Structure 1
Amino acid sequence: MKKMVKLMVLLLQAAWVLTVAADPLRVEGQPDDGGGADTLSHSLVLVQRLEAIFLQGNGSDVTLRVETPDADEVKLLAVHSLVLSLQSPVLEDMLRVRNGSTLTLRESPECAAVFEKFIRYLYCGDLSLRLEQAIPLHRLASKYQVSALRRGLTDYMKFNLARESPSGHVAGWYEYASEAGDTSLRDGCLQYLAWNLSSVLRSSEWTTVSSGLLMTLLRRSDLVVQSEMELFAGLEEWISHNSPDGLTAENALRAVRYAMMPPRELFRLQSRSAVLARYRESVRDLLYMSYQFHAASPVHMAKYFDVNCSLFVPRNYLAPLWGSSWVVGNPTRDDRSTSFQTQLGPSAHDASKRVTWNVLFSPRWLPLSMRPMFTDTGAMQPTRIEGGRPRIIVTPATSSADFAGVSFQKTVLVLAQRRGRLLVKHVYDFHQSTEENGDFLADADLHRRTSEYLVDGSLVLHVVVKPMYQSLVTGKN
């Protein structure tokens, strides 16, 4: 009891120190002759005082003994039960039932190494950390139910997904988030890996990906890669490095979309890939169907084979035949347009056929329901108003009658610069029934030069067109 009273006295003294501190007095609000009140804020000095109380151990009433499982390391921290109880319901219960003035806590070596940082946060509400300390601190925040710190660390990790690290960290964070039940962090890591897989494949982190995460990625249609061949090369490297069991390797190889590779690449793959040669029997049927897909008319092939599967669904390929990059300088100024060509379909039967696409970007455009229709000549008639939101329109230059049996999934990748690295920040998918996406850049502030959506003042986009044969593919993969 005496120690508790002493602690309260110290806190009161801290509050008194604030009133006479040398720091300038901050007054919020203006004098109000009508009887209103101003606010005097010295919270920063109070936090500094509380930190000093922790560091010096003044008035502490309990000692935390932090041990590792093998008792290789022991840390002793003099703390104040009142402060810890206010911040953590778990510590409050443990302190209530403790015997004596020492509370023993057993932590992993990683958590023990950052435990003092964790306790300091309970006193002053901030901490400094490195990437490798994020997981143990998050684990401590979860264990002791310090929800504000847990949320803050989740946000920190999601913000630093693109940050450089010697061996990568996103895959490890994904595994931890799955284990800890942090769905926000797990989904953020998975989205980053999927949307930036082309760069991840070239990093040292790729071979550290677990088999479970590998399969989760391979099943996705929104992977952003140069081509399916680049994805196969990455998978071949992963298998060679990790030497998985036969079933894992076969399942991974069967998730490759071989039909999205031109026949010449398939022939080269079969003659040069040691991994494919080893597991050829497990994918023989997929290779056979892919060759047939390229040799015959897709509509004709559908009469004899049931091919409603992801094998025939393109991913978000960055190669020129599937779309084009577009840098829009000063995107708030006026409307811009560009054009590019793609192949009509992924089948070699349609490889020589090209589709020209017109893309129009407008920083302030009326919604589709409020726009005039196209003119007789097919020209787009944009209607711009102040306060309108950014819009992007992707339309074919030729009549849709030329695309019998083919539908087009249009995707716009928005790139951003994070810590000096260019990454995919957002992916917008267009519905077949409309030529625009109503949510496009809905949250972007393009007028602000420091907007995270701008790279050196420009909007960096990549438009991907994914042709799919309507008679072959049903539903969304």
Structure 2
Amino acid sequence: MALLWLLWVWLLALGTRGAHVLDLSGELPDALAQIFDSQQDCDLFFLVRGQEELHLCAHRLILAANPEARALAGEPGRNVTMSVDSECAPFLRDFIRYLYSRRIEVTLSSVKCLHKLASAFGAEALQAYCGRLFAALLPEDPSFHQALDLYAYARASRDPVLEQLCVRFLAWNLEALTRAEAWPRVPRPLLEALLPESDVAVSSELALLQAVAAWSGERGLSPREAAGLVEHIRFPMMAPEELFQLQFTLPLYRRLEALFRRKILQALEFHTVPLPLLARHAGLNLTRPAYRPRVYTAANWSAAISNGSLAAPRERRFPSSNEIGYGYYGSHGYRSGRYGYPNPSYQTFQTPLHPSFLFRDRLVSWTLVYLERMQDCWNYGFSCSPEELPALGLTRGGASDPTVGYENKALMLCEGGLVVDVVDFQGAKAPIPGALDANGSKPASSFPCAAGTFGGYQAVVRPFYLLNSTLLE
């Protein structure tokens, strides 16, 4: 009996191992979508009110099986009224069909409305997916009209993630925005969100002040409203001669003369009083944003290079360590390659040691390098691992100062110059993210480049006082 029982168990196991499975579950999404397309045998009826009325029917059981559709499926009664604005009414059928099939094609023309519908009716997965697609939209419009429209939509829909996405993109491209036709359209809440940021990329603080003054005049701000914006301008980051000329060149100065005088006096103290005295007697909090630079892209604080693909010859002679930083490069920062071609993958430049006028005659030499291969790291004296590449290298030449530190930034640029990511230099290197998608272990850029590759890179030097220096004791 026991033997027969064991034989039966063995035969049962043998039959299980030989089982075959027919899996047609892949056809289910299309089948469910066809049920919706048929508009038959419904037990739930939608009246869509917009510019024109639209009647659709649905099946409560199918919707109830999808967590994203339970808000609609749980509506009491058989008739549900949906209010949709005229702009998004054409996409409502696609949205409800998605709740059946859980599959939808999102285009640049539909992404905002699908995000709005998903937000309104609780489709969280679709809402998150469309939110990520907004990042692809922003670099495609150098006029910034679309970025401002998306910001207005984010504020209206109370979507903090989308709002912060727009703020970050516009902060990194604020210089271009101030020169665009859309600049007067910038709403005041957006400007109030941008001005306190340190990652704002502008050519200089003076250029930012001039743009804010022009914007204030265009919008007809009251003195009190304009003063609230000027409070965020970092006057110590402007040179003394620029500060002096404000009274003659800036009409806003006359409307806010008391405020400007106070800010200019504060800035002149920063420029003329040595750090030990400032720290000891002035009572200034030098860690405040006003005393630290933004991302200044003017030539006195930055340099740009390409990814090396523009260099014609494959073979090129690399400079020795003695040549770097000692005038070996031409006046434009590029060195001729072995065959006389310009090599744009590295550049030397000089910056002031510190923004204070006390350091106006002390310059620091920098070398910016595009590190594509391990050979580049060896030639330029960098310690790299293959996983880090490609990367940017930034080295400093000349004497250092124990009271000055650096928080340098690397800007990732698309063709046309839009900034799509800002990365910190950790020591002498900054990682280069993927321009379109994640590249192996590297994350993707915050915003993609339509071309799939970066058009170039810019290094920005950002010096600040080290307040824990022993020289202050």
Mark yes or no: TM-score above 0.5.
yes
2:5 counterpart residue number: none
Distance 1:233 1:341 in 2: 26
Task: Name which of 52, 62, 81 aligns with 2:60.
Answer: 81
- Quickly say closer, same or farther: Cα 1:145–1:339, change in 2 above 3 A: same
2:366 counterpart residue number: 357
Q: Specify which structure has the higher proportion of strand.
A: 1
- Quickly say closer, same or farther: Cα 1:360–1:129, change in 2 above 3 A: closer
- Quickly say closer, same or farther: Cα 1:157–1:444, change in 2 above 3 A: closer
Distance 2:142 2:449 in 1: 23
TM-score, length of structure 1 as denominator length: 0.73
Task: Name which of 277, 290, 296 aligns with 1:311.
Answer: 290
2:396 counterpart residue number: 396
The 5 Å alignment of 1:56-205 reads 56-68=38-50, 73-87=52-66, 88-94=69-75, 97-98=76-77, 101-112=78-89, 114-124=91-101, 125-131=103-109, 134-164=111-141, 168-177=145-154, 180=157, 182-205=159-182
Give secondary structure in 2 for the equivalent of 1:59.
coil
- Quickly say closer, same or farther: Cα 1:150–1:239, change in 2 above 3 A: same
The 5 Å alignment of 1:184-263 reads 184-263=161-240
Give secondary structure in 2 for the equivalent of 1:160.
helix
1:436 counterpart residue number: 429
- 1:169-220 CA distances to partner (integer Å, 9 max, x unpaired)? 3234335435645443233222111111112222344333332221221101
Distance 2:293 2:118 in 1: 42
Give secondary structure in 1 for the equivalent of 2:148.
helix
* Identical-residue share of aligned pairs (%): 26
- Quickly say closer, same or farther: Cα 1:135–1:387, change in 2 above 3 A: closer
2:407 counterpart residue number: 409
Amino acid in the other structure paired with 1:62? L
Return 273-282 or 452-461, whichever deviates more.
Answer: 452-461
Distance 2:143 2:358 in 1: 45
Distance 1:75 1:92 in 2: 18
1:466 counterpart residue number: 462
Distance 1:258 1:190 in 2: 23
1:427 counterpart residue number: 422
Distance 1:359 1:39 in 2: 60
Number of positions where the alignment pairs a residue of Structure 1 with one of Structure 2: 412
TM superposition shift of 1:242: 2.2
TM superposition shift of 1:138: 2.0
Q: Any unmatched runs of 5+ in structure 2?
A: 1-16, 319-344
Distance 1:114 1:354 in 2: 59
- 1:36-79 CA distances to partner (integer Å, 9 max, x unpaired)? 86887795x765665555445233343311225xxx64222233
Amino acid in the other structure paired with 1:215? E
TM superposition shift of 1:235: 1.0
Return 241-250 or 216-225, whichever deviates more.
Answer: 241-250
Amino acid in the other structure paired with 1:349? L
TM superposition shift of 1:128: 4.7
Distance 1:228 1:299 in 2: 25
TM superposition shift of 1:164: 2.0
TM superposition shift of 1:227: 1.2
Amino acid in the other structure paired with 2:178? L
Amino acid in the other structure paired with 2:371? S
